[in-house]
């Protein structure tokens, strides 16, 4: 109703470990409330009973007042339960021990080879905006086709200026992710980008349930993610492919988009 009521309670009845009753009044509102306890097979049951009277136009707000009081008393009783159980465990009942946030976690036992990958494309030059806008719808269609092993896809906007779009994907395992990235249409996008980044920069970071992290940053005008934390090294040899960067020595199930020998074929042998 937008009105604040300040009440002064008067405790009118007390039976140790059984019942406590108090009354209060403020303006057009008055009430009587009682907490009762009784022993059950599982412990102690606490019951709250309240009778409230409002006069005049305030009676129209009875449904809202009742709903609000139910919520408040439910919270109070839950806090009391936490305090009593904490004390029973031998811990001091401090205010910080009574939490109200609903917390949950996840059971990943069914995903022993889970892979999480973050990806981003950043516009470095004006023509890069055309590349990004042209590629976006194609990427959307590819993941909406539900490739085998893709558990979840989420889009992100890392920044608006400069335009920097990205995504997060959850995969069943590395083999599934590799099959998707090394097959059409992803294979065609990647080969095109490696020939000419089109005024954009691309990066990804991959995290493995079985341990290991790997990342690549191509034509990124500014460092992002782990590139702002860890030293930079050339993507050569053991650092050329995602699988080897992650420390996985098992052979890939599909051929790479481009071989390292082909990628660096035009570079001088002095490297």
Instruction: Return the domain boundaries, the chain.
Output: 8-97, 115-261
CB atoms within 10 A of CB 168: 15
CA–CA separation, 144 and 133 (whole Å):
18
**Range list of H helices, 145-259:** 174-181, 186-195, 242-245
CA–CA separation, 33 and 24 (whole Å):
9
Q: Which of 55, 79, 113 is nearest to 243 (CA)?
A: 113
The single-letter DSSP state of residue 27 is T
Q: What is the average per-residue pLDDT within 153-178? A: 95
Whether residue 52 is predicted with pLDDT greater than 90 in this model: the reply is: no
Whether residue 196 is predicted with pLDDT greater than 60 in this model: the reply is: yes
Whole-model pTM: value is 0.62
As a whole-number percent, the residues of the chain with pLDDT over 70 amount to 82
CA–CA separation, 150 and 176 (whole Å):
7
Q: What is the average per-residue pLDDT within 137-157? A: 92
Residue 103 φ/ψ, nearest 5 degrees: -110, 140
Which tens digits make up the pLDDT trace of 66-94?
676 677 777 777 777 777 666 656 555 45
Whether residue 199 is predicted with pLDDT greater than 60 in this model: the reply is: yes
Whether the Cβ atoms of residue 206 and residue 213 lie closer than 8 Å to each other = yes
Lowest model confidence (mean pLDDT) among 71-85, 107-121, 178-192: 71-85
CB atoms within 10 A of CB 151: 13
Question: What CATH number should be reported for the domain whose range is 115-261?
Answer: 3.30.70.100
User: What Rg, from alpha-carbon coordinates, does the chain have?
Assistant: 31
Burial tier of 114 (Cβ tally within 10 Å: 0-12, 13-18, 19+): middle
- Residues 6 or more apart from 127 whose CB is under 8 A from it? 198, 199
Q: Which residues pair with 245 in a beta bridge?
A: none
The pLDDT of residue 170: 98
The pLDDT of residue 154: 95
- The whole-chain average pLDDT of the chain stands at 84
Name the more confident of 112 and 40. 112
The pLDDT of residue 81: 74
Tokens of 120: 């981003």
Tokens of 36: 């009762």
């Amino acid at each position: 109703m937008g009105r604040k009521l300040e009440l002064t309670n008067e405790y009118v009845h007390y039976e140790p470990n059984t019942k406590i009753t108090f009354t209060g009044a403020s303006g057009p509102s008055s009430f009587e409330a009682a907490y009762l306890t009784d022993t059950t097979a599982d412990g102690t049951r606490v019951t709250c009973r309240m009778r409230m009277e409002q006069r005049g136009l305030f009676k129209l707000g009875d449904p809202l007042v009742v709903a609000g009081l139910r919520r408040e008393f439910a919270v109070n009783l839950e806090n009391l339960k936490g305090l009593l159980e904490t004390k029973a465990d031998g811990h001091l009942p401090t205010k910080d021990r009574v939490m109200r946030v609903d917390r949950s976690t996840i059971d990943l036992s069914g995903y022993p080879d889970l892979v999480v990958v973050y990806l981003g494309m950043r516009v470095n030059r004006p023509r890069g905006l055309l590349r990004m806008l042209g590629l976006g719808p194609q990427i959307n269609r590819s993941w909406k086709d539900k490739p085998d092993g893709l558990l979840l896809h989420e889009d992100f906007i890392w920044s608006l200026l400069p335009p920097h779009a990205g995504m997060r994907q959850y995969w069943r395992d590395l083999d599934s992710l590799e099959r998707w990235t090394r097959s059409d249409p992803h294979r065609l996008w990647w080969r095109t980008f490696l020939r000419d980044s089109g005024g954009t920069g691309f990066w990804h970071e991959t995290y493995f349930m079985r341990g290991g992290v790997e990342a690549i940053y191509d034509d990124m005008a500014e460092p992002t993610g782990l590139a702002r934390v860890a030293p930079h090294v050339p993507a050569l040899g053991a650092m050329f492919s995602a699988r080897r960067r992650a420390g996985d020595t098992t052979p890939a199930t599909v051929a790479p988009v481009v071989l390292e020998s082909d990628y660096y074929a035009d570079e001088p042998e002095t490297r």
